[in-house]
Structure 1
Amino acid sequence: MPEVRVNEGARAPGVREVAAAAGVSRQTVSRVLNDHPSIRPETRARVLAAMADLDFRPNRAARMLTTARSRTIGVLAASASSLFGPASSIDAVENAGRAAGYTVTVAHAASLDPADLQAAIGHLREQAVEGIVVIAPQQRVQDAMGQFSLSLPSVTLHGAGGASDEGVFVDQELGARLATRHLLAAGHRRVAHLSGPGDWTEARARRDGFLAEMAVAGADAVVSREGDWTAASGAAIGAELVADRSIQAVFASNDQMALGVLHAARVAGRSVPGDLAVVGFDDIPEAAFFAPPMTTVRQEFAELGRRCVARLVALLEGGDLAFEEPVAPVLVVRDSA
């Protein structure tokens, strides 16, 4: 077994060491840390350079004592982190939070029960968060959150266009319409939609967008029973859809279920896209490497995270910020349709 050595005498550099390296007082270092306007640019640059050379990390507890602010944002995650959408949303919020000068801490609810949601919120409060981003795509979570009194500024990510979403969501219905329109433009007149879980607002919005676009075209729409976002459910429901030879195309509510449809089509002897066109949603990194590469709808998670943090920071700092338009999805055309 390799030996593990601990350097007990080592101590992380503090304000005293930074001040000595920069040739300034400790008070000046504190003013730089707190972004005080009286510091000359050249002095600020010298202090920041000393911090970088020493690999100095401000002590959050100490800063809270002097500023009464933690500069920490909490994220309440109420769905499996293995799912692409929620995981990508958390990453986007973390990146945007750091860029805005905030620490981000995440609490995963053990289940969707109100008690577990409140426990996760309590954990975030113990971290002295200033505001909370709620990643709650399920309707029952949103209903439960509406009954809580957070007493902290909060922004809900993964809305579907409600009056309170204020542009902090991807236009799921538009994304579904883009996918469906692409299939219709290719001449497909009987198209099936492989639905996501009905409790998810995004799944409902994608189904609604599909039905609306099909109705405009006067085409024959088929809606499947609900899947659970997994490739396994996509394969099981896809087998039912591909058995109907009159169905010319399938729009799946996410890429994993679309992958299951590709498997079901191969088992049934239906070629894609020759006998059946398939479109997914999300543009997961693997989608370009499916066989064939998947036509899908990309969600711009980085922009979603930026907007979410920007709105929360505005609320924290006494302002307000609403985006007039939702984040626009993008159709990515590949070989499956």
Structure 2
Amino acid sequence: MRHRVFLWAVTLSAAVLVNCTLLSFFVEDQMTVLVSPVSARPDYENGCSRVALDAVKTGPDGSACLYAIREGQGLSSGLWAEVSPTNLLGVDEGSALVLAGEGQPYVKFSSRPLQGGERVRETEEQDPCSDTFLLLGTGDLSLPPEALTGGGFALLPQETVTQPFLKEREVSQLFGTGAQAQLFSLREVQDFAAALPLLSLAGGLVLATLFCAVGFCQAFPNKLRALFWAGGCVLLWAGLWLVLGRIQLPSSLLPAENLLDFSHYRETFSQIAAGLKAFPQDDTCAQTLETLTGNARLCLGALIGFGVILVLLLALSITLQHRKPPAGRHFSRR
């Protein structure tokens, strides 16, 4: 009995550990913030450095700061954004005069607001494409003449948008340096909706690996059956790795700290849905809303379906295993 309990504990722990490892790589990749770097240049005349004004951010304490891009070491290898407090000495021809290290790369634009201590990935500008921006709350912003307004929202069609989409860059170009606005790319919303079926498939594969682990424990010590369940688990992990590799969630729509912050998704997409409904006559808004709601329902239904099917299969397997064969008839030889 003790050996069987030990087998169950080790097998299920190993299955959970492998799943968590695969998911951790996925989460780390998705939470990496896309940034556009800029380097500080020396200004010998003023005895300081020059950096693009857009690189000067407001730090966690409300003071001016720069986000320095530094290379990590060891287990923390990669690029990281660190808060670098600075004094804004002045502004000259669109550049900020600051005390900063010469040649040090700093974050100019990012796909979402930085918190400091986050992993970042430098991006290069790619070919532009058309897009439509949804602005939540116009406030005192000066809107372009082609903008459509309604219900406190604004729709901004754009013929050319530099890729990848960096929210800070687009806000700066539309409303000026330092402007604050809740701006969303409908192209990115559609990309997020398109990734939902793959997310549900990944969730189903995770549940299936746990089911295979249970099947392995039940089949043991029958080596052939145990090998069947173990092989199925390995194949499912390979499939999970491939599916996760195909998923790329838009960085601008993700939460700042926790990828599984469902309250962030609920609030964000409730606002986006309300904005899309404010422009029912626009084909792009109607198509985006239909895709988003349809794929969200499909994702939820698929996860529930996966769970129900696996529970039923598990219950059936346990029932068949504990079912006693009917007693055979004894015939006497005449």
Task: Choose between structure 1 and 2: higher strand proportion.
Answer: 2
TM-score (norm 1): 0.21
Scaled by the length of structure 2, what TM-score is found?
0.21
Which structure has the greater CA radius of gyration? 2
